[in-house]
A and B are shown apart, each in its own frame.
Chain A
Amino acid sequence: MTIEPSSTLQKNENVAFRRLAAGEGGVLLHLESGEYHGINEVGCLIWELLDGERTVDVVAVELRDGVEDPPDDLVPDVIAFLDDLRERDLVS
Chain B
Amino acid sequence: MTVLERAPEVKVRVMAWGDVVVETADGEVSGGPHCLAILDAFSQPTTLAEALEVLGPRTGGAQDWIDLTAAVVRLHEAGVLRTEGDPERDSDDVLRATFDSPSPHASMLEDRVRTSAFLAALDELVRPDDVVVDIGTGTGVLAVAAARAGARHVYAIEATPLAHEAREVIRANGLDDRVTVVEGWSTRISLPERATVAVSEILGSDALEERVLPVLADARRRLLEPGARLIPSDVRIFGLPVSVPDDHLASLTFTHSNTARWSSWYGLELGPLADYSSRRRQRYTAVIDDVRSWTSPTEPVLLTELDLSGLETPQVDVTVTAVATGSGTVNGVVGYFEAQLSPGVVLSTNPALEPAPNSWGVPVWLLQEPVELRRGQELALRYVHQGGTAGSMRLSA
State the CA gap A32–B2 with chains docked (Å): 9
**Residues of A10-68 contacting chain B, CB below 8 A:** 13-14, 16, 18-21, 27, 29, 31-32, 34, 36
Inter-chain contact B2/A16, CB cutoff 8 Å: no
Docked Cα-Cα span, A27 to B63, in Å, equals 10
The answer for the CA separation of A64 and B370 in the assembled complex, in Å, is 72
Given contacts A14-B48, A16-B49, A16-B52, contact A34 B66 (CB under 8 A): no
Nearest residue in B to A30 (C-beta to C-beta)?
A: B73
Task: Tell me the minimal C-beta distance from B140 to chain A in angstroms.
Answer: 32
In the complex, the answer to whether B77 meets A34 with C-beta atoms within 8 Å is yes
Residues of A within 8 A of B70 (CB): 34
Task: Show the binding face of A for B, using Cβ within 8 Å.
Answer: 13-14, 16, 18-21, 27, 29, 31-32, 34, 36
Given known pairs A13-B1, A13-B49, A16-B49, the reply for A31 and B62 (CB within 8 Å) is no
Question: What A residues does B62 contact at CB under 8 A?
Answer: 18-21, 27
Starting from the known contacts A18-B66, A27-B62, A36-B66, 17 additional A-B residue pairs (CB-CB under 8 Å) come to A13-B47, A13-B49, A14-B1, A14-B48, A16-B48, A18-B56, A18-B62, A19-B62, A20-B62, A21-B61, A27-B66, A29-B66, A29-B73, A31-B2, A31-B48, A31-B72, A34-B77
Of B61, B65, B73, which is within 8 A of A31 by CB?
A: B73
Contact assessment for A29 and B69 in the assembled complex, using a CB-CB cutoff below 8 Å: yes
* In contact, A34 and B1 (Cβ under 8 angstroms): no
Q: Which B residues lie within 8 Å of A16 (CB)?
A: 48-49, 52, 69
Number of residues on chain B facing chain A (CB within 8 A): 18
In the assembled complex, B76 has its CB within 8 A of some CB on chain A: yes
Q: CB-CB < 8 A to B66: which residues of A?
A: 18, 27, 29, 36
Closest B residue, CB atoms, query A21: B62
**Could you tell me if B1 and A31 are in contact, using CB atoms closer than 8 angstroms?**
no
Question: 15 A-B contacts, Cβ less than 8 Å apart?
Answer: A13-B47, A13-B48, A13-B49, A16-B48, A16-B49, A16-B69, A20-B62, A21-B61, A27-B62, A31-B2, A31-B76, A32-B2, A34-B70, A34-B74, A34-B76
Report the separation of the CA atoms of residues A82 and B377 in the bound assembly, to the nearest whole angstrom: 61
- Enumerate B1-24 residues with CB–CB distance to A below 8 Å: 1-2
* Interface 1/0 per residue, B64-94 and A, CB below 8 Å: 0110011011101100000000000000000
How far is it, in angstroms, between the C-alpha of A32 and the C-alpha of B72 when the chains are bound?
11
Q: Which residue of the partner chain B has the closest CB to A36? A: B66
C-alpha spacing A14/B69, complex, angstroms: 12
A19 and B62 alpha carbons, distance in the complex (Å): 7
Q: From B4, which residue of chain A is reached at the shortest CB distance?
A: A31
A16 to B59, CA, bound (A): 14
- Cβ of A39 to closest chain B Cβ, rounded Å: 13
Chain B residues with CB below 8 A from A27, complex form:
62, 66
Name the residue of chain A whose CB is nearest to the CB of B56: A18
Name the CB-closest residue of B to A24: B62
Min Cβ gap B368→A in Å is 40
Chain B residue numbers with a CB within 8 Å of A20 are 62
Q: Which residues of A contact B48 (CB under 8 A)?
A: 13-14, 16, 31
Q: Mark B39-69, 1 if CB is under 8 A from A, else 0.
A: 0000000011100100010000110011001
A18 CA / B59 CA spacing, docked (Å): 11
Closest residue of B by beta carbon distance from A16: B52
Chain A residue with the shortest CB-CB distance to B81: A31
The closest CB in chain A to the CB of B69 belongs to A29
Instruction: Look across to chain A and name the residue whose beta carbon is closest to the beta carbon of B48.
Output: A31
- CB-based closest 6 A-B pairs: A34-B73, A13-B1, A20-B62, A18-B65, A29-B69, A14-B2
Which of A13, A14, A31, A32 has the most C-beta atoms of chain B within 10 angstroms of its own C-beta? A31
Residues of B within 8 A of A32 (CB): 2
- Closest A residue by C-beta to B73: A34
Closest A residue, CB atoms, query B62:
A20
Smallest CB gap from B55: residue in A: A16
Compute how far the CA of A6 lies from the CA of B397 in the bound complex, rounded to whole angstroms: 54
Docked complex Cα distance between A14 and B49 (Å) = 8
* Chain A residues with CB below 8 A from B65, complex form: 18
* Distance of A21 Cα from B62 Cα, bound (Å): 7
**In the assembled complex, which residues on chain A have CB atoms less than 8 Å from the CB atom of B77?**
34
B373 vs chain A, min Cβ distance (A) = 50
**How far is the CB of B81 from the nearest CB of chain A, in Å?**
10
* CA A85 to CA B253, docked complex, whole Å: 56
Residues of B within 8 A of A14 (CB): 1-2, 48
